[in-house]
Every structure is written in structure tokens, then in C-alpha cells.
């Protein structure tokens, strides 16, 4: 039997903002949610050419230039940036290969229904002779005055098109098997782990 050689996992944690005390941690789930934009980006790298007909997070069709100007396939994101990096939402529609964003994104901010987005950081790769992995991590702080129930997560990237303009794409989307409530004064940490095995 063929064993998968590339795997993706996600895990969520909720902490108290003031005390950093862990409130809840989900188990690590195996993601089954690479989207068509992921394979289009990968094909562009392998083909070393412009990749066309990608649908960005605004549902617009376009292309990416491989190799292009920076950024390219960039998931790392600064504090408050929501165009790329890890994202969360409140949608519940099942994942489809053609999804181009989270269904119902949680906006950046401290208002009702909003979360403050920390930086998305990418770890160095780790591993041995039979496997290698790296993680993407982002925190989401709730100062909205109410509870926000997260039901979906995603990985967004930034890539330049052939005109040198940054475009944004959803590479991965997951609908959680059980929702995660993030109370006012709590911090949600989302971790995606990418692993390859021999």
C-alpha cells in the first residue's frame, strides 16, 4: 500500500491574554485540504514559467510569475496583515478543491467579531533521515468584548503576477471537526505543520 509522502496537520490552542494560561488545546488533526491554488503554485515552480488561471482570495482570475519579484508563495506575514498568513473564520461549508478563501473570515481588529492577528512565523525545518517538517504559527487575540467561535482555518500566500503586482491565494482550508470558542481576553494559537516522509 502506498503511504502518503506529504502530510499537513493543524492544531489550535486558546490561552488567557493576561496570564498566558492554557484554556484549551485541540488534538493535532491531519488536514486533507490542499486547494487547487497550491498545486498551481507548485506546478509553476516545477515548470519555471508563468502559471495562469489562478483564482485569488478576491475570486479574481489571474497569473503568477515564476520566477517573479518578491513575494512568491509567501505565507509569512506581519502583525495585522490578513492578505496572507494563517487565517481563521466562522464558516461551516465543507471544503471544496476550488475554494479561494475562508468562507466567513474573521476580520482584523478589536471590534465586535474581530480578532487581532499576530505575525505568521515559519520555523526552520527539522527532521532526520526519514522525514522533515516545518511549522507555520499565528496567534489571534480577542479583545472584542465577546466570544468568537472559530470553525475554519486557512493558509494564504502572496505571489506576484507577471505585472509585478502581489496577489493573494488560499492554499489550504480546513473546517474544524469541532468549533473552538475564543473568549474575550483569550488568545488563539493556530499551528500548521508540513511534513514530508520517505
Is the confidence at residue 1, as pLDDT, over 50? no
For the segment 61-114, what is each residue's pLDDT rounded down to a tens digit?
A: 998 886 655 567 889 999 999 999 999 999 999 999 999 999 999 999 999 999
Structural domain including 31 reads 6-197
| Residue found under cell 481576553 | 185
In which element (H, E) is residue 84 found?
A: none
183 inside domain: yes
1 inside domain: no
165 inside domain: yes
189 inside domain: yes
Distance (Å, rounded) from C-alpha 151 to C-alpha 93? 10
40 inside domain: yes
Q: Looking at the 3D structure of the chain, how many domains does it have?
A: 1
DSSP 128: -
For the segment 135-184, what is each residue's pLDDT rounded down to a tens digit?
A: 999 999 999 999 999 999 999 998 888 888 889 999 999 999 999 999 99
13 inside domain: yes
Question: Residue 107 phi/psi, 5° resolution?
Answer: -75, 160
118 inside domain: yes
188 inside domain: yes
Distance (Å, rounded) from C-alpha 43 to C-alpha 24? 38
Amino acid at each position: 500500500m502506498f503511504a502518503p509522502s506529504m502530510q499537513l496537520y493543524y492544531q489550535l490552542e486558546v490561552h488567557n491574554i493576561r496570564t498566558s494560561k492554557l484554556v484549551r488545546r485541540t488534538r493535532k488533526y491531519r488536514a486533507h485540504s490542499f486547494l487547487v491554488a497550491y498545486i498551481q503554485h507548485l506546478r509553476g515552480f516545477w515548470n519555471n514559467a508563468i502559471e495562469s488561471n489562478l483564482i485569488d482570495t478576491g475570486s479574481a482570475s489571474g497569473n503568477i510569475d515564476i520566477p517573479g519579484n518578491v513575494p512568491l508563495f509567501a505565507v509569512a506575514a506581519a502583525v495585522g496583515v490578513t492578505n496572507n498568513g494563517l487565517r481563521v473564520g466562522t464558516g461551516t461549508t465543507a471544503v471544496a478543491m476550488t475554494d479561494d478563501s475562508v468562507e466567513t473570515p474573521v476580520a482584523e481588529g478589536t471590534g465586535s467579531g474581530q480578532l487581532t492577528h499576530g505575525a505568521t512565523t515559519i520555523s526552520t525545518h527539522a527532521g532526520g533521515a526519514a522525514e522533515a517538517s516545518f511549522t507555520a504559527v499565528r496567534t489571534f487575540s480577542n479583545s472584542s468584548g465577546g466570544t468568537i467561535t472559530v470553525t475554519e482555518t486557512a493558509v494564504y500566500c502572496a505571489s506576484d503576477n507577471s505585472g509585478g503586482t502581489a496577489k493573494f491565494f488560499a492554499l489550504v482550508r480546513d473546517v474544524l471537526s469541532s468549533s473552538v470558542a475564543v473568549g474575550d481576553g483569550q488568545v488563539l494559537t493556530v499551528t500548521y505543520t508540513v511534513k514530508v516522509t520517505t
